[in-house]
Every structure is written in C-alpha cells, then in structure tokens.
Amino acid sequence: MNRNGKVQVAIVGLGFGAEFIPIYQYHTDAELYAICQRNERSLNKIGDQFNVNRRFTRFDDLLSIKELDAIHINTPVGLHAEMSIAALNAGKHCACTESISTSSCATGYISQPTLLTRSKMSIRSPGSSHRCCK
C-alpha cells in the first residue's frame, strides 16, 4: 500500500484490460501503479490516452517491484495460470477477469502459492459468481 493506504495495482494486458484503467484511477482504495502490454506502440498509445506514466512491456519486470501490491491479469486465458502463479509467488495479490485456466489441472496449482505467500487470488468469469482463494 502507498503512504495514503491505497492498494497499488498494475494491469497486464490492455486489449480488454484497458477498460479497467479508469476504475483503478478513480477507486478510493486503489491506485493504478502501472500498465503492461507486450506491444510497446499499443502500450504507449493507451498510456498516453489515460495519462499513465509507469509502463512495462515485460510482465516479469512487475514482479520485483516492492511497491506493487496487486496485479490484474487480462491477457489471453491460456496465460492466466502461469502469470497468476508467478504473481502469487512474488507475493502479489492477483486478479483475473476471465477464467484462471482452460484446464482443471492448472487451476489446482493456484492454491499452493496462495497458501505459501498469503496472497489472494480473485477470479471473475462471465456468468459465474466471484471466487476468491485464500
């Protein structure tokens, strides 16, 4: 959390994920810390549009940022499990807007880092209720 007690959040994947930028920018308990997109041109266009200064093209670069509390993942579903596990192992809280995985096997691996790091994983899938692993 920053000095004002707000959760520092990074959004990864800015296709659909860009829609969440204003939500974090205006949230009373959160602050948009950074955005991340592999395509630098797209990253800069969206960063300029929403006036976001901290921009990353590599997801792994976010994991070592001490000030960052949480990562909101909006990449293709096939990357969600791997990225979520990496974020949780780095001690970051993690949220996915879509399914965590297309395989129940990969989904099972999520509970282990949440227990070891005490980070939380939140998943919101279309047509389903909110789920949170603790």
Q: Residue length, the chain? A: 134
Nearest in space to 15 (alpha carbons), one of 34, 37, 33:
37
Across 101-133, b (16+ Cβ under 10 Å) vs e yields beeeebbebbeebbeeeebebbbeeeeeeeeeb
From 3-17, 32-46, 64-78, 119-133, the region with the lowest mean pLDDT: 119-133
Give the number of domains in the chain. Answer: 1
What global pTM score does this model have? 0.78
Arithmetic mean of pLDDT, 99-127 = 46
| In a domain? residue 13 | yes
Domain of 69? Answer: 7-133
* pLDDT per residue as tens digits for the range 58-72: 999 999 999 999 999
Cα separation, 133 vs 120, in Å, equals 6
| In a domain? residue 2 | no
Cα separation, 66 vs 10, in Å, equals 12
Angle at 5 between CA 116 and CA 14, to 5 degrees: 70
Burial class (CB in 10 A: 0-12, 13-18, 19+), 13: buried
Cα separation, 40 vs 19, in Å, equals 18
| In a domain? residue 18 | yes
Task: State the residue for tokens 């300029």.
Answer: 48
CATH of the domain at 27: 3.40.50.720
